[in-house]
Amino acid sequence: MYPSKVFVDPGSDGLLSYGPSSIDLGRLAAAYVDKIPRGARPGALPVEQPTTFELVMNLKTARAMGLTIPQSLLLRADQVLQ
């Protein structure tokens, strides 16, 4: 299991990833970058946590490992790779 879907993308051997959405992290970073030139002190900026998480599964790896992923888990996944 990995924290980023890049390890589960086609061509990799990762089975599952569950972690913050990279798009959401990019938006949070952009908000910080925008605030600093506008006069915000970097030390005064709050630490924010991601709010959107992604579950990605690679069925090719699951088949290679001889695993059967339950349908209930497949339905909860944000992305299922064949």
Do the Cβ atoms of 37 and 43 come closer than 8 Å? no
Alpha helices by DSSP H, listed for 17-70, are 22-35, 59-64
Q: Show the tokens assigned to 66.
A: 């001889």
Work out how many domains the chain is built from and give that number: 1
Q: Residue 22: give the domain boundaries.
A: 5-81
Alpha helices by DSSP H, listed for 1-82, are 22-35, 59-64, 71-76
Tens of pLDDT, residue by residue, the chain (82 residues):
899 888 998 888 899 999 999 889 999 889 888 998 999 998 888 888 888 999 999 999 999 999 999 999 999 999 999 8
pTM exceeds 0.95: no
Nearest CA to 77 out of 61, 60, 45, 53 is that of: 53
